[in-house]
């Protein structure tokens, strides 16, 4: 005889993010098997990502090539420059009408072979370096349209006579630091104080060959952090303290970390009082790495570790890049050959130390930049996009008409047996509380007994009451303009099985969207 109807309530379903690492039979409704085009919002709910709004109005200037790297520079006079690198050219993206990419003027005879530039600024000068290329610099006091050679005679660039040119650069402690040279991967040089061009007086270098803890390693990235200069290798990390007297006389090797390193220069991103980076084993934070010094502990990407590692292995390290988005507190990793962008929420880590993981699909951002005015820009196939709004806005193939496109959000659970795996279940109704979603269809999908053959049922989201809390919308003056619609569509479903997967598809448009609560009403049948 069938049992009375039971109700399974889940507040904030999927709030632990995706988990493709552990056995799905042991994962509750707090985990997602798929979370496409999702983020974890500030209330811990699965929510749709923001939109990609195309900024570039002349993307044809890229000749079909993507934007690969970007950087922002603000000069001492307050001038702002958004540098965009693609098509073996360095552009400035205009952030006011006509919003065009404008090529910078290169030194006579200079030819760019790739677009994987690294950047740093010091004393009103902006520096560009990449593997195998003589470094460039931008000096706005001299010209706002031209780039010049870092040193025309190539005599004062550190190591240029014997080690080639650097591939990574950072500014710290009033100096420019460079490393990963063409012919000496363990060479790190620093400039004179407040003079990024001077490597002859009050300057110096580190030869790290004798300091790597586990044999040969190579410098992959440099970052000034918490009164330290951190020198990342592929398989180890050296942390130098820099005293008040400067690196020449007071630098000390403060810490050595072996077994963990950084494989991708452009994955090193500061986050307040910490630094995140991509190791061969996953995503890590420098503070936790120094504290634990252990490969399995502090792996932010643990819940998708195998999938993430496989994606990393398919991509050249130079093409792996990352972003930290302050408002939504996520660290996103771009792997161009992979159709998925991995997004890790670092607002509240799980008890294991892992971050809540989601993924973005149907877009392939290559790089990003976070500006002084707190805007986030992504670079991709057709130029520069701003991360804002609730729809994607791009250009059609004729490059003339802007088209608004809904954000396709998908969330699916793991198979659920509700604690009685041997009994047959007869789910009758699924009630879902959502916040947002305006004039769009919400599709419920469900499947039994580990099948991916889903049944779909739609309800139109058209009206609702203002939520007491939610993702509020604000106008350009910072004034509150409109709350979010709170709705509870109810779906009658059918079928039976020992376990059930449920999920939701929605094309988000017109406003933000998140899933607040799910209630599943089911009858429990006989023992099988």
Cα–Cα distance measured from residue 455 to residue 447, given in angstroms and rounded to the nearest whole number: 6
pTM of the model: 0.92
- What is the per-residue pLDDT for 96? 93
Output the average pLDDT for the chain. Answer: 88
Judged by DSSP in three states, 176 sits in strand
58-103 pLDDT, tens per residue?
999 999 999 999 999 999 999 999 999 999 999 999 999 999 999 9
- What is the per-residue pLDDT for 200? 82
Residue 386: pLDDT over 90: yes
Please state the rounded mean pLDDT for residues 105-114: 96
Q: How far is CA 170 from CA 126, 328, 336, 387, 448, in A?
A: 11, 26, 24, 26, 54
Closest CA to 359 of 386, 383, 340: 340
132-185 pLDDT, tens per residue?
999 999 999 999 999 999 874 445 565 555 778 999 999 999 999 999 999 999
Evaluate whether 9 touches 519 at the Cβ level (below 8 Å): yes
Please state the rounded mean pLDDT for residues 206-231: 93
- What is the per-residue pLDDT for 62? 97
Closest CA to 170 of 242, 79, 86: 242
Cα–Cα distance measured from residue 45 to residue 388, given in angstroms and rounded to the nearest whole number: 19
- What is the per-residue pLDDT for 482? 47
Count of CB atoms situated within 10 Å of the CB of 526: 10
Evaluate whether 369 touches 382 at the Cβ level (below 8 Å): no
Residue 296: pLDDT over 60: no
- What is the per-residue pLDDT for 295? 47
Please state the rounded mean pLDDT for residues 199-214: 89
Cα–Cα distance measured from residue 39 to residue 343, given in angstroms and rounded to the nearest whole number: 7
Provide the pLDDT confidence category of residue 525 given band limits of 50, 70 and 90. confident
Residue 466: pLDDT over 90: no
- What is the per-residue pLDDT for 171? 97
Please state the rounded mean pLDDT for residues 355-373: 92
**What order do you get walking across the sheet with 118-122 strand by strand?**
118-122, 125-129, 136-138, 148-149
15-69 pLDDT, tens per residue?
899 999 998 878 888 899 999 999 998 888 899 999 999 999 999 999 999 999 9
323 vs 163: which has the higher pLDDT: 323
- What is the per-residue pLDDT for 312? 95
Residue 1: pLDDT over 50: no
- What is the per-residue pLDDT for 454? 97
Percent of the chain with pLDDT over 70: 90
- What is the per-residue pLDDT for 437? 77
Residue 418: pLDDT over 70: yes
Residue 481: pLDDT over 50: no
């Amino acid at each position: 005889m069938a049992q009375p109807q039971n109700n399974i309530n889940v507040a904030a379903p999927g709030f632990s993010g995706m988990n493709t690492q552990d056995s799905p039979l042991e994962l509750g409704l707090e985990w997602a098997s798929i979370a496409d085009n999702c983020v974890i919002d500030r209330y811990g709910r699965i929510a749709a990502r923001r939109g990609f709004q195309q900024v570039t109005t002349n993307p044809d200037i890229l000749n079909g090539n993507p934007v690969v790297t970007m950087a922002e520079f603000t000069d001492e006079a307050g001038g702002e420059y958004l540098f965009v690198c693609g098509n073996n050219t360095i552009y400035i993206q205009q952030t006011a009408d006509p919003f065009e990419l404008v090529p910078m003027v290169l030194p006579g005879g200079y030819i760019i072979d790739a677009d994987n530039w690294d950047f740093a600024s010091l004393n009103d000068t902006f520096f560009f370096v990449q593997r195998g290329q003589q470094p460039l610099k931008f000096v706005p006091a001299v010209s706002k349209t031209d780039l010049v050679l870092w040193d025309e005679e190539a005599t004062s660039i550190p190591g240029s006579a014997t080690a080639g040119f650097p591939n990574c650069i950072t500014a710290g402690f009033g100096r420019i630091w460079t490393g990963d040279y063409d012919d000496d991967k363990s060479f790190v040089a620093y400039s004179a104080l407040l003079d990024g061009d001077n490597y002859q007086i009050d300057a110096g270098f580190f030869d790290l060959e004798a300091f790597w803890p586990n044999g040969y390693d190579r410098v992959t990235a440099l970052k000034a952090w918490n009164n330290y200069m951190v020198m990342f290798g592929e398989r180890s990390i050296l942390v130098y303290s820099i005293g008040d007297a400067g690196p020449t006389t007071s630098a000390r090797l403060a810490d050595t970390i072996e077994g963990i390193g950084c494989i991708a220069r452009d994955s090193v991103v500061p986050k307040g009082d910490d630094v995140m980076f991509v190791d061969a084993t996953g995503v890590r934070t420098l503070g936790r790495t120094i504290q634990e010094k252990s490969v399995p502990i502090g792996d932010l990407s643990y819940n998708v570790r195998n999938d993430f590692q496989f994606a990393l292995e398919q991509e050249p390290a130079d093409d792996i890049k990352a972003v930290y988005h302050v408002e939504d507190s996520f660290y996103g990793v771009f792997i161009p050959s992979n159709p998925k962008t991995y997004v890790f929420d670092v607002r509240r880590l799980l008890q294991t130390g892992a971050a809540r993981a989601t993924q973005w699909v149907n877009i392939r951002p290559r790089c990003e930049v976070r500006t002084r005015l707190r805007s986030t820009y992504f670079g991709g196939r057709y130029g520069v996009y701003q991360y804002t709004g609730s729809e994607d806005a791009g250009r059609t193939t004729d490059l003339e008409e802007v088209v608004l496109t809904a954000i396709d959000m998908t969330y699916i659970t793991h198979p659920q047996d509700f604690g009685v795996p041997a009994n047959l279940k007869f789910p009758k109704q699924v009630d879902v509380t959502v916040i947002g979603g305006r004039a769009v269809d919400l599709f419920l999908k469900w499947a039994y007994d580990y099948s991916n053959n889903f049944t779909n049922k739609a309800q139109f989201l058209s009206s609702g009451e203002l939520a007491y809390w939610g993702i509020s919308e604000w106008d350009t003056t910072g004034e509150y303009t409109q709350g979010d619609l709170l709705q509870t569509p109810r779906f009658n479903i059918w079928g039976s099985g020992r376990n059930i997967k449920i999920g939701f598809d929605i094309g988000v448009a017109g406003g933000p969207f998140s899933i607040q609560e799910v209630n599943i009403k089911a009858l429990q049948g006989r023992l099988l």
